Amino acid sequence: MILRNKPKMIFFDYGHTLLYEPGFDFLRGEEALFKYVKSNKNGLTPKEVFTYSQELYAKISAVREIGYELHEWQFQRFLYEYLEIELSVSLPEAEKIFWNSVSAGEVMPNAGKMLDYINANGIRSGVISNIGFSGAALTERINRLLPRNKFEFIIASSEYMFRKPSVLLFELALKKAGLNAADVWFCGDSVKADVEGASCAGIFPVWYDNETVENPRREQNKGIKPQCEHLHIHDWAEMIDVLSALNN
């Protein structure tokens, strides 16, 4: 594989690409929200709400497998109204309390350093994430943990109905950027959603295959190699080296 041109812009995945969520625990999120319960008609406990939410999610999550996204606000609204629980905070506030309690998030190794490099070298950037949490919550999290980013946009699939590997999300990002696919790279950890998805949209894919941070998707990717041309890296320092070589 020969890399001939430095990209004008790089799109990034979110989870296990830029940030990750150590200690992820949905029950802890429910316990945090229960501090804001205004009424609880059936006297349910956080554990009971958590158990029902997992059962409910299992019933409806098939839509994600066929390429459509669920929104956290819709899920939480139905869940709490169905269980006859009233919260004293708004859905956006409840989402933030819930997600930050589930996991406050951490930065992937050298992600900040890599973003500093592309910013200093005039390479534009944006984010495309498969995620049920709202775009506002995702943006707040990214800005909090990567405050020096210069992302021009952050696309959360929850706000746009479709999920990667649908080319529609990649094409939407290209329209937002005002660029042709040939001028853009996409970096992500999922072989199917990120690498092959970007390639189908004509975008050059970078498979970020970090092995130092625990990642459930690594088992999903095990033994699978992208069926397309791509750059395979394991650390963001490698990305800096690749881009530096293209400058010479």
Domain boundary, last residue among 102, 130, 165: 102
Residue 1 lies in a domain: no
Cα angle 59-172-135, degrees, rounded to a multiple of 5:
55
Residue 4 lies in a domain: no
Q: What is the DSSP string of 24-51?
A: --HHHHHHHHGGGEEEETT---HHHHHH
> pLDDT, tens digit, for every residue of 218-244?
677 677 889 899 999 999 999 999 999
pLDDT of residue 1 exceeding 60, the answer is: no
- Number of domains comprising the chain: 2
Q: Are residues 31 and 16 in the same domain?
A: no
Model-level pTM?
A: 0.92
What average pLDDT does this structure show over 167-185?
Answer: 97
184 close to 203: Cβ distance less than 8 angstroms? yes
Q: Are residues 241 and 128 in the same domain?
A: yes
Q: Are residues 62 and 116 in the same domain?
A: no
Confidence of residue 4 (pLDDT cuts 50, 70, 90): low
For residue 177, the domain's CATH number is 3.40.50.1000
Q: Are residues 178 and 147 in the same domain?
A: yes
Q: Are residues 32 and 118 in the same domain?
A: no
Q: Are residues 94 and 117 in the same domain?
A: no
> pLDDT, tens digit, for every residue of 97-152?
999 999 999 999 999 999 999 999 999 999 999 999 999 999 999 999 999 999 99
Q: Are residues 98 and 38 in the same domain?
A: yes
More confident residue, 170 or 61: 170
Q: Are residues 96 and 192 in the same domain?
A: no
What is the extent of the structural domain holding 86? 26-102
Q: Are residues 109 and 70 in the same domain?
A: no
Residue 56 lies in a domain: yes
Q: Are residues 69 and 110 in the same domain?
A: no
**pLDDT of the residue at 120:** 97
Residue 164 lies in a domain: yes
